[in-house]
Structure 1
């Protein structure tokens, strides 16, 4: 661990398979064929129940369960283009799909979309994803309503759950034009439910195995003649498969919307959230494999701590100056406090039957971010355009007890956790500030009735200051990046469009807010993507599908100087290419199928590390293939859903010396609509109780995913 809570990598050489292996990954996907059996079983059960259960009409619009190609994009472009028109790959998950599948965590929801896999850990905040061959918070960004919080020490921890969100959207490939640095792989955007003058309320109560319990309330409605509100409150708790795995969280989301005139809208937003995740840092391995006999043990201290707190305030003003011009301004303040105090490294001695514990860490983050965005959007003839200016200032204080001393040895089976104690004092180590200014412009130009061009340009300028609090030294740095996108969409017919695009973006070599002296002289790494694709609706509204083929090259990653191996320089290169397919099909009046498949071939073209040459190796945490398949069968008041999630084999390190095995998980849900207002759901996670490795923590410590879980929930809407 690099003491900033990022995923580790070890050093050993491994050979790379042929590029043609990209198109030979279907054997690991064979378990997905079982979903057909599951769907058939559900259909039979539903048919048997049809004669005895009452019929209740379903009023949910069908398009909310599809790819929503006609819906305006809020994540991929600011010009208001529909997803079908935009020359880029993006999709998402609606609140209806979240309920159907029982997805309560953002990680669960996002990894149902094509090509997104998760490798979150307590050290990176749990929101670390891989997309298109790139992994981690410095390459896959996370935003809420289009605003991304700063990444501190490789960590993102908010938003963690799906309650209060209308949908989760994903824009794949470089997204610096929209969000700035740290987005070469993808950007995830959580879109909030908005206030409405139609009064509605929803209530959720749920309980399940492992002491699981959840409760949520959401309400919206009018306030007087010119205002409306939206509030969402949510809390959850659950235990895990081993000691110290109890987790709990809670949040409040509030929005007040003022509309004093028809052309003026003001939103005031106030949020507060806390999280206490499971205090589990992995199961030690033997020779790069999980020590199965230790799977149910936890070697952390009994008084360990993991806690995240987030406060967010936002004010958004939108003025419709004319039919052709809209002016917007958004001001916001974010504050995040995080606290870790844990024993994080474990070494198993099979002969002695003991585990040696080290890395007694205590780390605290205090992050504040203030920003303002002003933009103008309009129409002029065949052009839909937007111009804007972002100004953001972030301050960060990092406190820790480096060099993280402390060691102990406990029994490998039924260990006595003991308490946390370190000989090293926990002290504030450094303060940083980062000021960012960005100007951007986009233009969607209808060249002809069937042709649309989308072009955009953005420039970011950063100024960084760091004060070492113990040594009293400081340094500053200025850097910048320019990103661009050019795309062309051809409307083949009313149902089909094809597109091509070239886009550029940039990632930091490490989190900008926590840049250290060793990385002071490095500039941003630049990524370039070419992509072609097709988006199509099936006749008679029976479904939608998309296909994207991409190639990304990322240059100036940190490598070693061949002439001076002890010196780190920029000059490394990483590339990836792949295919992504996703579809929703209404197979019959009662049966809907949803599926996606991603095939990715990623490699380091140039990379020297302390342990050797990694050229030709696959980056850590990047699978060659991933896939999802869901079947939903509705009859009368019943809906039965069954889904499979497959993640291919990954490596724990850039040396490709430690493998994380592929896994396939089976989930299922049964929903009964008691009345038009109430639904009862039984959701099963990991129904086959499969033991699998979700991520690694170092090269010989493995984070095991959760076993079988069952939950019974009641959801009211009135």
Structure 2
């Protein structure tokens, strides 16, 4: 069996950076540092597996049934509050994390409730390998393995966000969990950066009547109310209705945020073999005095800016309202003999209306003067139509059963935005003491411009999971896509067209022991680019490849899952600025070698003992770029991060549950105009405790940033602001 795994995986592992050295006539080979944890983990898992098999043999000698014991182990594993039995984000095969040949993480509903993760920033900041770059109060970028995350999904339906920019506050109360696949996911998404795919899995109706309502209050006049009711509406109809409302001030001067969420979903059993699901989500965000841009990081003498963490450059008249409505219909039909047909259509409408104030410039250290104001009246209307249909099932070949998925997807996105501005650029007073008043602007003074463009994508995809042996599984797949973009944005053409772009995927999983699996995977990278060269020709698409190898092991009789992965990512044809065309004055670009990223990730998730759940993850990677690429991409991305979320229910006082989360990152920096800003390494520690007064009533207390750490929310841009100090929230929850 060892011969099988070696011959199967070696072709995929040829990229491994192996170093050969000679010492006194003796040849020695060593693995690069980023791959060594996989070897160590494999050794630990092998020892653990061998020990576990020994225990099983002893149990058999004592007359216990090994089959019954195996069933009990699986039940314990699936009972962990911080893990799920299967997921579909990486493939559509419904595999467990143990069976998936990629790095995957899941933030469950229990974690969201325990640690009060009420928005996507909170969820992803606690996810292994994900960095949350809060560049503004109402705009965020997410990165993984050094690249922007541009692939997002709702229930597995992909919607691309090409610039990676998420505006507003995505409330998480409508979600059952959030699944994350790190690395490229070309099989399910077609295009995007080799960072990660974030899949937001909505709540679905339940058979039994379930009612939940809660209210919370906390620091900075924080108020939140939630309700969730689910159950049968008839013999063949189930429904669920979810609402949430939140209003709060902020540690930032003048900033306040209010949001409302409504979500409804109905399941209709049309026949015994056909299930129709209809759903609708509506969310509104309203921000008073949001920051557009943020605080300057450097004074004119090159020294770092250090001010009160409440300091804001937002005017008192600024505001930002965003609304999003989503409607979806899903049909699942059982074809019999293990085959299933599933089709989904989703419509999304997103609108924004904002009056914004941007402060720019480099202030004087002594006076605080030197910043100027720039105002904008901005509106945006964005619609998306998403359709996906696929068939999945099992087939027989060479006396074994294999899995197959064949599908077609189509999407269309229309963006229409417009911006007015005031071109007076008034000088600001000392930004360190400014109260946001005294600068009135004519936001309808002149037209700044806008965008009106349309994106279309059509894809066919297929994948098979070959069961070579009981222990060896091979995943092979490909996606063939067409892209068509037309229109312009702020005077720049967005026209581009690509046909027949093939994105292959290959993965191998070998079950070394009952509880130990080795895996390797390969994926191509493809992202269309709109930049033009000096001749006005569109640059070739951004391409590349990603390799990943790892080991996964179920520990403690299957209650814990240990995953260790090493990755190597390479880009080609990255567009970089090459100067300005002397004939037209327009900026032009040229292709470069792009960015490479190599490193490893370790994650441990599950139940250590009964009532003690844990999710811990560590990421360590290095990035490399050519001289043409902005060096700040490497500087502002932390090379090392650690995430921990753990909860424990006291056995002698089962009504009490306590927990802690830790988020740590190493030093980051940014260099602009020859001066450098350094963010020292820091950690954020959050605590929670809840107490069940009865089977239905629970009291909870959450305290965030208990060490009162002062830190920048991001160095992604040349501006930033400080994160919140210590805050506390108390809540009461009633369940039926």
Give TM class, smaller chain. Answer: 0.7 to 0.9
CA distance in 2, matches of 1:271, 1:638: 34
Q: Secondary structure at the match of 2:100?
A: coil
What is the TM-score when the length of structure 2 is the normalising length? Answer: 0.82
Range moving further from structure 2, 155-164 or 666-675: 155-164
CA distance in 2, matches of 1:203, 1:707: 28
Alignment of 1:109-128 (within 5 A): 109-122=123-136, 126-128=139-141
Offset at residue 678 of structure 1 (A): 2.2
* Counterpart check, 1:308 vs 2:322: yes
Provide structure 1 residue ranges, at least 5 long, that are not aligned to the other structure. Answer: 1-18, 26-59
CA distance in 2, matches of 1:532, 1:552: 12
* Counterpart check, 1:362 vs 2:381: no
Identify if the C-alpha distance between structure 1 residues 68 and 494 changes in structure 2 by more than 3 Å, giving closer, same or farther: farther
Q: Secondary structure at the match of 2:111?
A: helix
Q: Deviations over 1:450-470 (max 9, x none)?
A: 01011110022111111579x
Structure with greater Cα Rg: 2
Provide structure 2 residue ranges, at least 5 long, that are not aligned to the other structure. Answer: 1-30, 38-74
Offset at residue 95 of structure 1 (A): 0.6
Show the counterpart of 2:664: 646
Q: Deviations over 1:49-107 (max 9, x none)?
A: xxxxxxxxxxx9874546637x2221110122222112111111111112222222211
Whether the aligned pair in 1 keeps the contact of 2:287 and 2:319 (CA below 8 Å) is no
Q: Deviations over 1:560-613 (max 9, x none)?
A: 559999741123321001110011364555644432110011121x3416xxx8
Q: Secondary structure at the match of 2:594?
A: strand
Alignment of 1:478-627 (within 5 A): 478-480=497-499, 481-509=501-529, 521-560=538-577, 567-584=588-605, 586-589=607-610, 591-604=612-625, 606-608=626-628, 614=631, 619=634, 621-627=636-642
Offset at residue 681 of structure 1 (A): 0.8
Higher relative contact order (CA 8 A, sep 6+): 1
Match of 2:146 among 133, 139, 144: 133
Alignment of 1:243-392 (within 5 A): 243-277=253-287, 279-280=290-291, 281-287=293-299, 291-346=305-360, 347-354=362-369, 356-381=371-396, 382-392=401-411
Identify if the C-alpha distance between structure 1 residues 467 and 296 changes in structure 2 by more than 3 Å, giving closer, same or farther: closer
* Counterpart check, 1:432 vs 2:453: yes
Q: How many residues align?
A: 649
CA distance in 1, matches of 2:497, 2:130: 33
Offset at residue 406 of structure 1 (A): 2.3
CA distance in 2, matches of 1:562, 1:248: 43
CA RMSD of aligned residues (A): 3.1
CA distance in 2, matches of 1:353, 1:185: 39
Show the counterpart of 2:696: 677
CA distance in 1, matches of 2:209, 2:371: 58
CA distance in 2, matches of 1:389, 1:373: 6
Range moving further from structure 2, 445-454 or 518-527: 518-527
Whether the aligned pair in 2 keeps the contact of 1:314 and 1:331 (CA below 8 Å) is yes
Q: Deviations over 1:315-354 (max 9, x none)?
A: 1111111123211111121111123322222442222243
CA distance in 1, matches of 2:120, 2:218: 19
Whether the aligned pair in 2 keeps the contact of 1:299 and 1:357 (CA below 8 Å) is no
Identify if the C-alpha distance between structure 1 residues 152 and 388 changes in structure 2 by more than 3 Å, giving closer, same or farther: same
Identify if the C-alpha distance between structure 1 residues 516 and 557 changes in structure 2 by more than 3 Å, giving closer, same or farther: closer
CA distance in 2, matches of 1:237, 1:516: 48
* Counterpart check, 1:693 vs 2:707: no
Offset at residue 697 of structure 1 (A): 6.5
Range moving further from structure 2, 153-162 or 268-277: 153-162
Whether the aligned pair in 2 keeps the contact of 1:479 and 1:523 (CA below 8 Å) is no
Whether the aligned pair in 1 keeps the contact of 2:269 and 2:275 (CA below 8 Å) is yes
CA distance in 1, matches of 2:447, 2:534: 21
Range moving further from structure 2, 349-358 or 678-687: 349-358
What is the TM-score when the length of structure 1 is the normalising length? Answer: 0.84
Q: Secondary structure at the match of 2:513?
A: coil
